Amino acid sequence: MGPKFVWIAAFGGRIVWISCILVLVVLLSLRHFAEPARRRLTAAFRFRPEACFQRVERFLTALVQGVESTRSDAALLPIFVYSVPEGVLIAACYWCVVQASAGIVSLTFVDVLILMGFVPFRGVVQIPGTGGGRQVAAALELTELFGTRLELATSFAVFFWIITFVAVVPAGLGLAPKTRLDWHSLRQLNREVAK
DSSP per-residue codes, 46-62? TTS-HHHHHHHHHHHHH
Spatial separation of the C-alpha atoms in residues 108 and 57, rounded to whole Å? 47
- What confidence score (pLDDT) does residue 41 get? 79
Residue 143, pLDDT score:
85
What whole-number distance in Å separates Cα of residue 63 and Cα of residue 41? Answer: 11
Evaluate the CA torsion angle 49, 54, 55, 56 in order and state its sign.
Answer: positive
Determine the distance from the C-alpha atom of residue 113 to the mean position of all C-alpha atoms in its chain, rounded to a whole number. 15
Q: Kindly write down the DSSP assignment for every residue of 99-132, as one continuous string.
A: HHTTTT----HHHHHHHHHTHHHHHH---TTT--
Do 97 and 160 meet the contact criterion of CB atoms below 8 Å apart? yes
Q: What is residue 118's predicted lDDT score, i.e. its pLDDT?
A: 75
Is the pTM of the predicted complex or chain greater than 0.75? no
Tens of pLDDT, residue by residue, the chain (195 residues): 667 667 777 777 788 789 888 888 877 777 777 778 778 878 888 888 888 888 888 888 887 777 777 777 777 788 778 888 988 888 888 888 888 877 777 888 888 888 887 776 666 666 555 556 777 778 888 888 888 888 888 888 888 888 877 888 888 888 777 777 666 776 776 666 555
